[in-house]
Amino acid sequence: MASPPLVATTRPLNEHRFFAGMAMAMVVIVFIGFARSFYLRVLFPEWPAPAEPIFYVHGAVFTAWMLLLISQVSLVANGRRDVHRRIGFYGGLLAALMVVLGTLAGLVGARRPTGFIGVPVPPLQFLAIPLFAIAEFALLTGLAIAMRRDAQTHKRCMLLATIVLTTAAIARWPVIGTLGPLAYFGVTDLLIVAIAIWDFRTRGRLHPVTLWGGLLIIGLQPLQLTIMGTAGWLAFARWATGLLG
């Protein structure tokens, strides 16, 4: 019996490895960013940690999202697309919960006199980063759900949606966290570059989601840097945080 073509056996395997590797990379990024204030808090008793309960709920839900991402990639790699689809429904609910909690956590952090823990940027200015990230996450996960029958589109939307959220973790990295928003965005963009390289290697061109989704994320970064210190943004941020009472 003739052996199957090499490309037929290696391409799916390599693709699964790539997307699994991207998911694991983001888990590591998030763990490093929030290790001192959340995951390994007991080992860093002197490191400032949030007192508000919402941040621990938000952290738990965010962690659940990262674990869900890894499990969904693993299910597809092991041919369990049926389970992947069933879990996907709950993933949509989790994404909606993340949008709500992420918005509330951002507003609470911006209202705090000491600002966002581990972030040396004035809180009302920094609020632009989590609010933009949540909006982009909501858009990209919505597209992923709408395009769930198109595997290549779906998985790239999910990756990009999660990449947007890693900026908050990168902002709390040792060393990188002290360099400001340009550094946060720069590290985030390396993950988008990795998807672009994968597309060129496997497709010879960028997938439309990588192109337009990547341009959206990168294009909104200078907008955030431009507006975050303006009087208009600061007025909006004071109004938004004032809604919390």
Write the pLDDT tens digit of every residue in 62-79. Answer: 999 999 988 888 888 777
How is residue 139 written in tokens?
A: 């858009």
Q: pTM surpassing 0.85?
A: yes
pLDDT of amino acid 10: 52
Measured CA to CA, the distance from residue 213 to residue 165 in angstroms comes to 14
User: Is pLDDT above 70 for 7?
Assistant: no
pLDDT of amino acid 226: 94
Could you tell me which of 88, 196, 209, 204 has the C-alpha nearest to residue 153? 209
Confidence of residue 13 (pLDDT cuts 50, 70, 90): low
Measured CA to CA, the distance from residue 217 to residue 55 in angstroms comes to 25
Measured CA to CA, the distance from residue 215 to residue 39 in angstroms comes to 32
Measured CA to CA, the distance from residue 189 to residue 186 in angstroms comes to 5
What residue spans of the chain are helical by DSSP H?
Answer: 6-34, 53-77, 81-111, 123-126, 128-146, 151-170, 181-203, 208-227, 231-242
